[in-house]
Amino acid sequence: MATQQTTTAGRVLVAPSVILLFVWMIVPLVMTLYFSSLRYSLLDPDNVSFVGLQNYTAFLTDPDFLTALYNTLVLVISVLIISVCGGILVALLMDQPVFGQNVLRLMVIAPFFVIPTVSALVWKNLLMNPDSGLFAWIARSLGFDPIVWFTNWPMLSVIVIVSWEWLPFASLILLTALQSLDEEQKEAASLDGAGPISYFGYIVLPHIARAITVVILIETIFLLSVFAEIYVTTAGGPGNATTNIPFLVYKQALLNFDIGGASAGGIIAVILANIVAFFLVRIIGRNLEG
């Protein structure tokens, strides 16, 4: 069906959406690039001048930058590990025939539909609050001192909240993969003498490897830009303990009123995301082939 004519017609027809998407992407990028080369402070908006790469050197040499980079990686990697391992466990459990399976599945998936700001607020005020939270109540009932989560374990708290949001996504994708495993393969493996652990390692894991790859790639994209959860709970603190790159950019722009520096930070974040994506696709992308 791919004649010269249909190919041309196809190109003409998709052109508007491609152009729109391209403009949608390129205009903010170019504007950010432009602002990143300016000395542009909101405290002194009339005094704008071209400074070249100075904003970039300032952002990169800022000691906060390395802390933020480290925090970003810790957050992304921890949440990936928790949500993928937890997701496999939840998927394995949900794959068992149990009473009320459908309701159970819906409940497991529910957190994914709660917007990040709301789930962070719920965790902050109803669960982790050291005076009135559920965890504090449990600790006191058992005779322990309540944990002051956001002061003493800030990064862990953020990781817990973000993992809670992403666990359902991972579980759902992995469950779908698990259910596509051929029943006869399971029987063949049991005849071949594979116990539960060998069966999981040799048959199940390779089968869901591709789904795991998809989960990791998609989650990474979103986890690199976690913001609402931090803004609502710790506001990047105490100190810089939970400041990741997006939050650092935000601080630069709206707390320090430095538009030029924030733009440079934004561009650096884009470059970092691309570096991460490049290595991810290199390392695990071959699972997606074939």
Total of residues contacting another protein (CB under 8 A): 18
Q: Which residues pair with 49 in a beta bridge?
A: 39
Which segments within the chain are labelled E, that is strand? Answer: 38-39, 49-50
> Which of 30-38, 55-63, 92-100, 182-190 is the region at the interface with another protein (rule: CB under 8 A)?
182-190
CB-nearer residue toward another protein: 100 or 193: 193
> Which of 125-133, 180-188, 252-260, 274-282 is the region at the interface with another protein (rule: CB under 8 A)?
180-188
Among 89, 182, 286, 288, binds another protein (CB under 8 A): 182
**Dist CA 175 CA 90 (whole Å):** 8
Helix axis angle, 101-109 relative to 154-179, nearest 10°? Answer: 140
**φ and ψ at 258, to 5 degrees?**
-105, 95
Q: How far is the CB of 290 from another protein (least distance, A)?
A: 8
For the record, the structure tokens of 46 come out as: 């009339």
> Which of 19-27, 58-66, 204-212, 229-237 is the region at the interface with another protein (rule: CB under 8 A)?
204-212
For the record, the structure tokens of 275 come out as: 């570096």
Nearest to 248 by CA among 63, 81, 105, 123: 63
Among 121, 194, 277, 284, binds another protein (CB under 8 A): 194
285 lies in the site for another protein, by CB under 8 A: no
**Dist CA 101 CA 93 (whole Å):** 10
CB-nearer residue toward another protein: 63 or 193: 193
286 lies in the site for another protein, by CB under 8 A: no
Residues numbered 71 to 110 that lie near another protein (CB under 8 A) are none
Q: Which residues pair with 38 in a beta bridge?
A: 50
Judge whether 55 and 260 are in contact, CB under 8 Å.
Answer: yes
Judge whether 148 and 128 are in contact, CB under 8 Å.
Answer: no
188 lies in the site for another protein, by CB under 8 A: yes
Query: Which residues 6+ apart lie within 8 Å of 153 measured at CB?
Result: 147
> Which of 83-91, 168-176, 181-189, 252-260 is the region at the interface with another protein (rule: CB under 8 A)?
181-189
> Which of 53-61, 104-112, 172-180, 183-191 is the region at the interface with another protein (rule: CB under 8 A)?
183-191
Which amino acid does the sequence have at 179?
Q
198 lies in the site for another protein, by CB under 8 A: yes
CB-nearer residue toward another protein: 206 or 239: 206
In the complex, which residues of this chain contact another protein (CB under 8 A)?
Answer: 182, 184-185, 187-195, 198, 202-203, 206-207, 209
